[in-house]
């Protein structure tokens, strides 16, 4: 169970448990879907001590099942790794949007990579849901696109999201 999670009842998950400021790339210059996944996986490797290549291969295998581009310029690639001790995230704001084969066929400029232990079970799905809910708020998305530094992006992601 994640730190801060309740032993009984529903999981209380905060994005501050998933992502730290050092895991945010505010001006990612990747030019393809594959390069985005490689760049974010490399940063995830630096943050977790795992091999970036292993993370990349895991996320790419999931991506081959269907694009994780959810629309509105947003993608949430994800995967599970046996050696990962806890759920972690890496975020990239692309300088120039890239085709990600998204559901709405729009290019992507905001990418939240989520990796979880193979044993995460429902916690992995709850983390994906939490990220998707945060990225559904139009003002939050506008603010993320306007932010130019990791500290601002981290603050936006970890503050309490607006109601609704």
pLDDT band at 159 (very low <50, low <70, confident <90, very high): confident
**Catalytic residue status for 14:** no
Burial of residue 119 (number of CB atoms within 10 Å: 0-12, 13-18, 19+): exposed
The pTM assigned to this predicted structure is 0.89
Q: Which domains does the chain have, with CATH numbers?
A: 21-157 (3.40.930.10)
Question: Could you read off the pLDDT of 25-81 as tens digits, one per residue?
Answer: 999 999 999 999 999 999 999 999 999 999 999 999 999 999 999 999 999 999 999
Q: Among residues 78, 124, 137, 155, which one is catalytic?
A: 78
């Amino acid at each position: 169970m994640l730190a801060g999670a309740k032993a009984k009842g529903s999981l209380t998950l905060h994005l501050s448990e998933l992502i730290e400021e050092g895991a945010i790339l505010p001006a990612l210059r990747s030019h393809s879907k594959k390069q985005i996944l490689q760049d974010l996986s490399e940063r995830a490797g630096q943050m977790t001590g795992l091999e970036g290549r292993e993370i990349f291969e895991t996320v790419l295998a999931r991506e081959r099942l269907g694009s994780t581009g959810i629309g509105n310029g947003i993608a949430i690639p994800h995967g599970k790794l046996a050696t990962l001790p806890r759920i972690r995230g890496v975020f990239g704001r692309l300088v120039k949007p890239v085709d990600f084969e998204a559901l709405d066929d729009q290019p992507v400029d905001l990418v939240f990579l989520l990796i979880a232990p193979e044993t995460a079970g429902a916690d992995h799905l709850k983390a994906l849901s939490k990220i998707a809910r945060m990225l559904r708020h139009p003002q939050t998305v506008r603010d993320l696109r306007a932010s130019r530094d990791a500290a601002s992006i981290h603050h936006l992601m970890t503050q309490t999201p607006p109601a609704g």
